[in-house]
Amino acid sequence: MRAEIQRAAFELFARSGFEEVTTEQIAAAAGISPSTYFRHVRSKDDLLLDPVREGGAGIAALLEERPSDESADIALAQAIMTRSTTLAAAELEQWRAAFRTAPHLLDRVALITPEHRERLVELVAQRMSRDSRTDSNPGLLVHLMLAAAEFGYLQWLRGSAKGASLLVCVEGALAAVLDERWKN
């Protein structure tokens, strides 16, 4: 149900603009009542922001699946890039077109929730054989990688990368963070 609401909203936002579209119009386009809409969606903003926020759990799961002998920076970068390619190109473009009609939300794009960030720090600390409570390197690596990925997402959303794909934008940003210092 949520996916259908989101698809309808993205289409309406891209066509008419975020501010012009009402929740009632989204509900009607999704073929549901406004009360059903509000059971599945907290706010109109969340329809655009949640796809990014939901990425944190996916990144953590993908990091756990990476080969254990892979360095922390490479494993985390690969998990982030893999997560960035989970949506079909058409869905990504529809989301970006919808997002571009709400530029005020760009400043609220956060790649993951604090809980997912903490989980990533734990996973990276394990991979580095370090204690994140006494060693800042695991947390620093996670924060740097997520900041780089977020920069790549914003670059792609704004279209400032001259037609580059989301993966190219994210990969380029992550490459700037990869360094020998993160090797075990």
Is residue 100 within 8 A of residue 159, CB to CB? The reply is yes
pTM score, two decimals? 0.82
Is the confidence at residue 117, as pLDDT, over 80?
A: yes
70-91, pLDDT tens digit by residue? 999 999 999 999 998 887 778 8
Is residue 116 within 8 A of residue 123, CB to CB? The reply is no
- The full set of domains in the chain, from first to last, is 1-41 (1.10.10.60), 43-178 (1.10.357.10)
pLDDT of 123: 97
Closest CA to 76 of 172, 155, 141, 170: 141
pLDDT of 93: 87
pLDDT of 65: 97
25-54, pLDDT tens digit by residue? 999 999 999 999 999 999 999 998 887 777
The dihedrals phi and psi of 160, each to the nearest 5 degrees, come to -80, -5
Q: CB neighbours of 84 closer than 8 A, spacing ≥ 6?
A: 55, 149, 152, 153, 166, 167, 170
